[in-house]
Homo-oligomer: A and B are copies of this chain.
Amino acid sequence: MPKDRAPTRIQKKNRAAILEAALNVFSAHGFRGATVDQIATEAGLSKPNLLYYFPSKEAIHTALLSGLLEIWLAPLHDLDADGDPMEEILAYIRRKLQMSRDLPRESRLFANELVQGAPRIHESLSNDLKTLVDEKKAILTQWMDQGKIARLHPYHLIFSIWALTQHYADFDVQVRAILGDEDPFDGAEPFIDTLYRKLLTP
């Protein structure tokens, strides 16, 4: 295990390669389905070498998840109480959809975890996520009280955004099986935009 001085050039490179490889493997096979050997090979290292940088398979997974949670929640974080309600929400949706397009592996990493009951991030859900959502719920409720957007159940409104946007990353195979050559996001963006304009107009 490297000492905890400033990381050397090699340490930086290998840690990054491991996390990148682990993202590929974990998102494609889930925690249990991924093997350390597979991650090591994909990172261009031998298994013992990989375990020199991370103490265990679990540690890699944890490092990945906690590093990504922040990125994952960022779009919601940016929802601004002082902006124009409709535009704020639509911008949030666009950011979320963009993430499904640009970071599908990350999306599937979380999806894998959630579908199986989130054994390794249950706590973060009840704390970080719940706190953030409640904060934004207050903003949404305020906008509804002011008549600026339609009155809806704020939690379910948020769920719907998550569901609609992440669906395209998480169930990519299914979407492509039906769309064929058509680019999923080309159709999804205007569809979802229309949907929320209609839904949110008071």
Query: From A134, which residue of chain B is reached at the shortest CB distance?
Result: B178
Residue of B31, B173, B190 touching A114 (CB-CB under 8 A): B173
**Interface assignment of A61: CB less than 8 Å from any CB of chain B:** no
Closest 8 CB pairs of A and B: A32-B33, A163-B167, A125-B177, A156-B191, A163-B163, A118-B173, A153-B187, A114-B171
Chain A, residues 152-186, CB within 8 Å of chain B (1/0): the string is 11011111101110111011011101110010000
Residue of B156, B158, B167, B195 touching A162 (CB-CB under 8 A): B167
Query: From A166, which residue of chain B is reached at the shortest CB distance?
Result: B163
Residue of B111, B112, B187, B190 touching A155 (CB-CB under 8 A): B187
A selection of 20 A-B contacts at a CB cut-off of 8 Å is A30-B32, A108-B116, A111-B111, A111-B171, A115-B115, A122-B173, A125-B173, A125-B177, A129-B178, A130-B177, A152-B191, A156-B188, A157-B191, A159-B168, A159-B178, A160-B191, A160-B192, A162-B171, A163-B166, A195-B195
A63: B residues at CB distance < 8 A: none
Chain A, residues 100-113, CB within 8 Å of chain B (1/0): the string is 00000000100110
Q: How far is the CA of A87 from the CA of B38 in the complex (A)?
A: 50
Q: How far is the CA of A177 from the CA of B122 in the complex (A)?
A: 8
Q: How far is the CA of A199 from the CA of B152 in the complex (A)?
A: 14
Q: How far is the CA of A133 from the CA of B166 in the complex (A)?
A: 21
**Interface assignment of A16: CB less than 8 Å from any CB of chain B:** no
**Interface assignment of A41: CB less than 8 Å from any CB of chain B:** no
Query: From A113, which residue of chain B is reached at the shortest CB distance?
Result: B173
Q: How far is the CA of A112 from the CA of B173 in the complex (A)?
A: 12
Query: From A156, which residue of chain B is reached at the shortest CB distance?
Result: B191
Query: From A30, which residue of chain B is reached at the shortest CB distance?
Result: B30
Does A177 lie within 8 Å of B129, measured CB to CB? yes
A158: B residues at CB distance < 8 A: 178
Does A160 lie within 8 Å of B116, measured CB to CB? no
